[in-house]
Amino acid sequence: MPWEFGRFASSNRAKRGDGKPETFDFLGFTHICAKTRKKNRFTVRRKTIAKRLRAKIKAVRKEIKRCMHTPVPSQGKWLRSVFIGHQNYYAVPGNRKSVDTFRTEVIRSWFRALRRRSQKGCNLTWERIKRLVRTWLPTARIKHPYPNQRLRVS
């Protein structure tokens, strides 16, 4: 059978004895046939393409290393703008885990870079980095509503 995706794809494939429906990548997301938890209805689940997420994390790490010795406030402003831009695009329903992963990896990279700035006994602890993160990086949250709620009039 040719490529199959959509509302009836999983039931049709189950009747034939095939596995799960195919997924496809489009506009930075992997689109997956899924069902809602409450009413068991069809929905399209979108998550960040893993290859794109890894590439973005790698690019941010490279830039953090390059700007390691700039003042912390300018690093924080830059990281905030990078994270907010990432969140504005990728924070769709069902993709919270990928957005959290991106934020966590940015924090870890920033922590490593700040610890390598000095040859003295490094006094940067997780408590201090947590304060910097609270100051400069917003928490990860879903920015976009579900498509059926976007045009709802109340």
Whole-model pTM over 0.75: yes
91-109 residue pLDDT tens? 998 899 999 999 999 999 9
Q: What is the pLDDT of residue 111?
A: 93
Q: How confident is the model at residue 154 (pLDDT cuts 50, 70, 90)?
A: low
Percent of the chain with pLDDT over 70: 82
121 vs 54, residue with greater confidence: 54
How confident is residue 130, by pLDDT bands cut at 50, 70 and 90?
Answer: very high
Q: Has residue 81 got a pLDDT over 90?
A: yes
**Residue predicted with more confidence, 15 or 131:** 131
Mean pLDDT for the stretch of residues 124-142:
91
Supply the DSSP string of 111-140, one letter for each residue: HHHHHTT-SS-----HHHHHHHHHHH-PPP
**Structure tokens belonging to residue 93:** 């329903």
Burial class (CB in 10 A: 0-12, 13-18, 19+), 15: exposed
